[in-house]
Amino acid sequence: MNLKIINTLVFVLTLLNISVILAQQPEKLVKVVVAPNHTNWLYKSGEPAQFKISILKNRVAVQNVKVIYEVGAEQMAPTQRDSAVLKEGELTIAGGTMKEPGFLRCKVTAIVEGVRYSNLATAAYSPDQIKPVAELPEDFNPFWEKAKAANAKIPMDVRLTLLPERCTAKVNVYQANIQNYQIGRRLYGILCVPKKQGKYPAILKVPGAGVYQHTGDIELAEKGVITFQIGIHGISLTLDPGVYNDLMRTALRDYRFYNLDDKNEYYYKRVYMGCIRAIDFLYSLPEFDGVNLAVTGGSQGGALTIVTAALDSRVKYIAAFYPALCDLTGELHGRAGGWPHFFGPVYKDFNNKKDKIETTKYYDVVNFARNLKVPGFYSWGYNDDVCPPTSMYAAYNVIQAPKSLYVFEETGHWTYPEQQKLADDWLIEKLKTQK
């Protein structure tokens, strides 16, 4: 088979794989439906919450199904756990209440014809009153100013490679290879530039966690916007997909923990600096309008979106989905902490050390959120069990810049297509109407 055809097939398969990862949760034959008794899922402190449980097959209630349910503060040990048989396919349970701002979660599991199904719902108690536990170091701003100054001295040494198989009638697509953080270290990204001569706004797209191939946002670029989608690991983004899988299982498996005992050498330092270097690169492009630049991403990318805007005044707008790395020491204070859960049950014994706790203060998104000055679009759901809403609200509530939060209550660590479109439309409207 022709090598070009093989490469094209690999590219298409990668696109399909990514679309599955980013899509809404797949449909299942049997649905466990859990819902609080308030339509907006909001409660006041001390107000009791009830949860209605339904088991549906072909949209019809399944009778005589045994369910196991547990209720408690999100990410914490449940305060009640019980089972019941749903004789009519439905059950309403008393979930109790919360005296302090936070989230009360009901998880339900059912086994139907030998298959295990589960779902959850989360009642929000005065989330706008949640305060962070993250501590702000006195030298937080000087620490990052020093890092930015050092990085600015390193030549970008830009190397652009056209990717003809990805170009369209309206957009040229390149892989950019840029020097970042230290001499010899590289930052890779997929750049999409409208072919029509002119000056365009730009959107920096920062990645979620993991190690994977990036394909660039061609669709958004075709709307008249330069897009630059970066990776964070200093490796090419056009390798065989199997290479990324191997790296994720081996050398980069636990990258989020690398050098956590040293704030100057922690893995995310060069990641944060890479986001700034990506903006340096966008500003160097002759097609960029020189003013209108936004950053967007979800999860780890949501965190990097906030961090980048806090560190670089050249960013004018942000759109952040379910940001990670928020209020990282939450578990040490008896409540949910943000991904990657350094101090949760799995990693607490290994990470609960003075030097590691100290390092997290310099990388906690809460402390960057305090410095935000640009308008932001934010969106997440109450059912997120990767980036707990408690941690996200802890960051959101300290933001003093103009902000809009779009809550899609039932979503977990995923988005609806309509949710993504809302953010894209918001960004394009902002970028194209400002001078």
- Token readout for 199 is 């000056």
- The dihedral through the CA atoms of 418, 321, 332, 347 has a sign that is positive
Instruction: State the pairing for strand pair 376-380/65-73.
Output: unpaired
CA distances from 201 to 162, 188, 306, 330, 339 (A): 21, 20, 19, 38, 32
Instruction: State the pairing for strand pair 80-86/65-73.
Output: antiparallel
- Please check whether residue 146 is in contact with residue 268, taking contact to mean a CB–CB distance below 8 angstroms: no
Between CA 429 and CA 84 the distance in angstroms is 51
Nearest C-alpha neighbor of 405 from the set 302, 260, 284: 302
Between CA 179 and CA 158 the distance in angstroms is 7
Nearest C-alpha neighbor of 276 from the set 224, 250, 332, 314: 314
Q: 384 an active-site residue?
A: yes
Q: Residues 299, 341, 364, 379: which is the catalytic one?
A: 299
Q: Residues 217, 312, 364, 384: which is the catalytic one?
A: 384
Q: 327 an active-site residue?
A: no
Q: 284 an active-site residue?
A: no
Q: Which residues contact 254 (CB under 8 A, 6 or more apart)?
A: none
DSSP code at position 255: G
Q: Which residues belong to the active site?
A: 299, 384, 413
